[in-house]
Structure 1
Amino acid sequence: MKTSQSFRIYFTIKSDKEKDGKAPLYVVVTINKEKCFIALKQKMVDISIWDFGKGAAKGTKNEIKELNAYLEEVRLKLGNCYKELQLKGKLINTKSIKSLFLGEKEEAFTLSSLMSYHNETANKDLKWSTLKHYYVTQRYLKKFLEQHYNATDIYLRELNYKFVKDFEVFLRNHKPKDHQKPLNNNGVMKHIIRLKKMTNLALNLHWIDADPFATYKLKIQKVNREQLSEVELKAIEEKKFGIERLEMVRDMFVFCCYTGLSYVDVSNLEPEHIVTGADGGRWIRTCREKTLIPVIVPLLPKALAILDKYKDNERALYDGRVFPKISNQKVNSYLKEIADRCDITKNVTFHIARHTFATTVTLSNGVPIETVSKILGHTKITTTQIYAKVVERKLKEDMDRLRMRLK
C-alpha cells in the first residue's frame, strides 16, 4: 500500500549530445524510483562549468549565477506542480508532473470522467436496479485509489493488467466496517466485470488504446442455486403465523413460487396485468422490469387463491397494485423469520421463489425446459439450464419408468 511518495529533483547535462563544447540541460524528476527526463530546451550549458556532483553550474560569473537561479525557479515550479496534483487528489507520477510542468493540454480521460460518462449514458439504457450496482463498484474503485495510489483519480492510460489484478486483491482483502459480509469470489468478479464493461466503453470511445483486460482471466465459480423442496414449500404454505406482515410476505413468496415472478416484478404487478386467456382462465401478462421482455404466465390454482385473497386489500388498491408495497430488505428479513418458524435451515431469500418455480414446481413435474424458459422471460435457453436441477423425486420417477420399460 502506498501511503507516501519519494519525490526528488536534480539537474544534469547530456554530454553525449555535446556540440561545440556545450550540452543540453535536463531536469530529472524521480517519484518512487520512477524517473523521467525533461529537456530544458532553451538552455545549452558549457560542459566545462558543469558540476555533475552538485547538479549545478560552478563559478561566480553573472551568467553562471543566472543559470543557477533559473535552476531554482525550475525546482520551485516542479515542487508546486507536485503540490497542485496532491491538493486536487490526482494521480502523482512522473508523467503527470511532466505534463503539468510543460503546460500540456490535458485530455480529461481519467477513470472518474469515464465513470461519470458511463453513468450519464447508461442511465438511459439500464434500470436503476442494475445501475446502482455500478455506483457500488465505483465507490470501491475510489477507496482502492486512495489506499494504493494516495489519489482520488487516475489517468485511463495508467490502467493495465497490474491495476486490475491489484483491484481484485483489494476487493478480496477488503473488510467492511458495517454489518456487511466480506465479498466472496463471485462478488469480487461482479465488480471486476463492471470495471471491464467501463473500460470497454473507453476503448470504443478511443479514450484508451490498450485493453487492460487483454490478458486477465475472470474466475467465476459455479454456484449451487438453492430452491425449496416440495416438503419445505408445503411447510411454508400451511404454516399459521398469526402476524400480518409475515402472512403477507409468505403469500407474496408462495405466489412467486407458482408464477416464477421476481421480487421487483411481483411488486409492480397491477390488476390490469391479470387477463383472461384463450382458454378462459386467468393469466399474467406483463414485462420483466430487468429486461423488458414480455412474460405470459398461466395462473395455477394456488396462485389464483392468493390473488383472490388480496383483491380487496386496501393498501394494495391504494397503490394500484396486486400486493401491498414492501421493501426488498424487509421482505428478505421477514423470510428469514418465516424459514426459522418452519424449521427450514436454508438461507431463504425472495429470489429462491423463482428458483423453486423453475425446479420443484415445473421442471420436476415434467414441464419442458423451453416452456419454463418462456415463462421466466429468459432470452437464452442456457440461462434456464442453470435452474434445471435433477431433484431426487424426479430422478426416482424417471428410473421407475425405465425399470417398467426394461421389464
Structure 2
Amino acid sequence: MFISSVNHSIRMRIRFVIRKVRTNSAGVCPLNCRITIDGQKATEFATGAAVDPKKWDSKFQKVKGASQAAIDLNRRIDIIKTELEGVYLSARSRGLRLSANEIKDIYTGKKELACSFVKMTTLYLEELKIKNRSIVTVNRYKRCFLYLNQYLGKDMNVASLEKRHVSGFWRWLKEKGYHNDYCNKIVQACIGLFRFGMREGYVERSPFAGVSLEWKKELDTTCLSKEELGLLENYPWSDKLQRVVDSFLFMCHTGLHIGDYIEIGEDSCYTYNEKQFMKVKRIKTGVEAIFPLDNFAVSLINKYGGCDKMPKISGQKSNDYLKVIAEAVGITKNLTNKIARKTFTDICLNEYGFSDEVVSTMLGHTSTRQIKHYGSIKEKRILKEWSDKVDVA
C-alpha cells in the first residue's frame, strides 16, 4: 500500500485490488486501483492491466516472479502510484484539498486539476447559449463577469477565490459609482457562475456562498430633456459621431433597446391606416414591440435609405462614443443607450400623456409593471390632467 503524506492530518492511500470474479478464459483478471483520503474512499477505477490471480501479492502490492511480464506490470503499477501522487501533491501545493474521487477524476481525465476564471466563464456562457438564453442576457452575464475579472486583475484559478475577494469586489463596484441594486445584479450573476462551477466540479465551494444581498429597489429613470435632445440634433458632428448620434436619437424616438435596434431590417417597417409603423420582436423576451414612427424617425430612415441601412454599432462601443458626445455638448448625465429608451418613455408619459398600456405595448413589455423602471409621471402630466378637470390655483 502506498501512502503520501503532506502533513500529519491529511494522508492519501493507494491500493491495487484484483477482481477474481472477472477472470477470463486466459486465466487473468482486471487490476483496479482504489484511492482513500482521510478515510474516504473513491470508487475503484480500472488500470487497464490484467493479472494472474495466482501471481498477485496483495500484501506487497506487486506481481510475483522475475519474468519480463511481471517486471513490466510492476513498473506500470509504480508509474500509476507516481502519477497519482503527483496529482495529489500538485493540488496541495496550490492550496486545494481534493477528495479521493476528485483525485481519481483528475487522473482519469474526467476533471481538470485547475480551472481558470476566464475558462469557467466561457463554459458557463456557452451553456447559457445552449439553453437558448437571449444574446442580450448572455452579454449581460458576460459584462458582469468582466467586472469581476477586472477587479481580480488577472486570470486566477477559480478554486483560489476566497470570501475576501467577494467583499473587495463589492467595495470596488461601489467605488465605481454603481447603484446598490446594479451591484447586486452583478453579484447575482457571479453566484450563478460559481453554482455552475460546483455542479461541473471546477470548484468544491463558492466564495459567494452565504452572501446576503440587500435590495434598495432604486429606480433610475434618468432621461434627456427636449433641450438636451436639441443639443444632440444641432451640433456639427463628424461623420463617425453623427452615425452614433443618429442611432441614439432614433432609439429616443422609438423606444428600441440597443439589442433590438441592431436587429431591425427592411421588414420591420410597415404601413397601417396610411401611417408608418414598426414591429420588432424583442430579443430578450420574444414579445413584439409595436409603435408608429414620428416624422423625425422617418427622416432618419430616409436619410440612410431604409431600416436595414441604419448605422448599427455595438452597445459597448456606442456607449463609449456617447460619453465623448455628452462632453462635447455639455450634457452632464451619464449618457448611455439605456437613456434613449427611458427618454422615449418619459416623452410618451409626460409630453403625450399616453396610457401605461399603450406605452408597455410600444416598449414590448407583457405588463405595465415594468414602466416604473423606465419613466415616471411628472408635474407636467399631472398638471395637464388636473387642468382638464379642476381649476388649478
TM-score for both structures, normalised by structure 1? 0.61
State yes or no: 1:229 paired with 2:225: yes
Residue 96 of structure 2 corresponds to: 92
State yes or no: 1:310 paired with 2:304: yes
Spell out the pairing of 1:2-401 with structure 2 (5 A cutoff). Answer: 8-9=7-8, 80=86, 82-86=88-92, 92-93=96-97, 95-96=98-99, 100=103, 108=111, 118-124=124-130, 125-135=132-142, 137=144, 151-153=157-159, 166=164, 168-174=166-172, 181=176, 185-198=180-193, 216-221=211-216, 222-237=218-233, 239-277=234-272, 279-311=273-305, 321-401=308-388
Change (3 A) 1:376 1:8: same
1:230-252 Cα deviation digits (max 9, x unpaired): 33223333x14153233332222
Change (3 A) 1:220 1:108: farther
- CA displacement at 1:286 relative to structure 2: 2.1
Preserved CA contact (<8 Å) 1:282 1:299: yes
Change (3 A) 1:164 1:371: farther
Preserved CA contact (<8 Å) 1:358 1:388: yes
- Percent same amino acid among aligned pairs? 23
Change (3 A) 1:283 1:195: same
- CA displacement at 1:376 relative to structure 2: 0.7
- CA displacement at 1:85 relative to structure 2: 1.4
Change (3 A) 1:120 1:249: closer
CA RMSD of aligned residues (A): 4.9
Deviating beyond 4 angstroms after TM superposition, the runs of 4 or more aligned structure 1 residues are 36-39, 76-82, 101-117, 135-147, 163-167, 180-184, 198-216
For structure 1, which segment, 335-344 or 137-146, has the greater mean C-alpha deviation from structure 2 after superposition?
Answer: 137-146
Partner-residue secondary structure (3-state), 1:344: coil
- CA displacement at 1:206 relative to structure 2: 12
Letter of the 2:348 counterpart: V
- CA displacement at 1:184 relative to structure 2: 5.7
Gaps of 5+ in 2: 1-5, 12-36, 42-59, 61-77
Equivalences, count: 322
Partner-residue secondary structure (3-state), 2:278: strand
Preserved CA contact (<8 Å) 2:259 2:283: yes
Letter of the 2:166 counterpart: E
Q: Distance in 1 between matches of 2:141 and 2:183?
A: 13
- CA displacement at 1:188 relative to structure 2: 3.5
- CA displacement at 1:372 relative to structure 2: 0.8
Preserved CA contact (<8 Å) 2:279 2:290: yes
Q: Distance in 2 between matches of 1:325 and 1:146?
A: 32
Letter of the 2:221 counterpart: R
Q: Distance in 2 between matches of 1:399 and 1:257?
A: 27
Residue 51 of structure 1 corresponds to: none
